[in-house]
Structure 1
């Protein structure tokens, strides 16, 4: 199977949360990187951030990844691709079918542009919501443990999103878009028999210090925002999300997927831990300088073990074995995220 240990790689979505860490890992691994960004400001931000690698960093502007031929210039002369760019808006109010179409078209445009290149491997950032739900419905909270693996697909959320369209919850629309974009990825490769193979990376909710352009609160991290303000509802501490993973582990595994021969044709869940509102509350108050008046989580190991005993589990062990790493700890990652959010905002209101 094709694999890539050196050469020039294209990274789309490079200025984003996962993107900035992925660029760093790729550069440290010895790759030259061409960064696909939506504006020159974002490209210059990345060149400045990685100034020590100036001879290995360039960028190209792709304003609209859905436009015909959007990636034609970006892919010239590249050896591999890490495709991170995809619509991420959990508050999207439009039609679910529009969000799905945008994600699918972005994948299609990239793959079509790559068809006539000498690219060896394409790594697609998908999501655990391509195998199961982003969060468990309130009525199902604390019922039974459910384990998801790479063998499953989240077609249920696709059907729900298309049935409800604009009325579908944002996380359902997002899950449907990720599911269908990844389905298209594998369908296109199977139908067109390109010279390159594919790998799909499926992370859970990403946490870790924000370093992306703008240094705001990333979409996946935004679920902690209510717990960073007074008045969060302690009765919802047992509310459950689709697991979590440190963004730095995602970046490592994503780059490692380029050079691991046996990764070709595989999906890899990246999920290290269960995730509840209780974990977010504990993390929000870990920065004591900013914890006054906040709702505190329950740190009792027995309480946390009880939550885990009936949790959604996204099994991320396959990635650990394939890429030879160990996931970072949950509490440490969330605490570090909170500390960086406060530092980046420098007292500005949330």
Structure 2
């Protein structure tokens, strides 16, 4: 367990966080996001416990120290496997270990983890207890408000009480049900109605727990409003990926003590700061599109944004693509600005 000062810093980091998103929030995406916010908590993509135990551990878990504060999200339902994965991940120095109890995809259900675990809170409690026995950082849970025909008003508080009884003090609640039958993962992110009121009531019912909210939050204004209503944190997902400037470039203002020291920068400043990172990646044998695919939304809504996306989408995946392609994409923005 951490001491009180570490716990306070950990809690503060969650005033805003960027959601774990499969195929999106890899280490290149997180480095890019970190250039826009010094304080938000960043999450890895979900990594299954068996993958850490049996797979290419360094490739799965390595990251830049610049990404802190950073959380590792694990997927699994076997307490022993999750404990072992937590132990193996410990040397990598993550600031938090998070258990996925929210993903509704078919491949997650077939492995009996993700949102299907909402139906088995006692198993989740066993899992987090095993993880905490191995962790030197907080273990947290990301969940839904319920699944299928559940009554969230009954299911969610019972879930929180059971899992909190195993020692978890921090929950990130996606304020939608997960429909395990009949909806695709994409539809599960959009069709089930949001119930922010229920999450707010959970904070009132469990005031000693750290309760963060996720789902449909696409602006800093809404994030600030939810924080003002008493929630401990807000997690932003797709908006942080598709329009990162609007939700991340001014995000540090959500930490009042740090707002005065937050540097003023533009999307073009961020693009310039990414250049040496891209150069190092290319020099190490990496490919340009592995980084720039995460940057397509950097100039969202700005003149030249479509040309920026086109140049990178068409050119960055070609063999030998280098900084010349990146420069050409930036030149499109300059030309668009000059034409205004």
TM-score by length of 1: 0.36
TM-score by length of 2: 0.37
Higher relative contact order (Cα pairs below 8 Å, separated by 6+ residues):
1
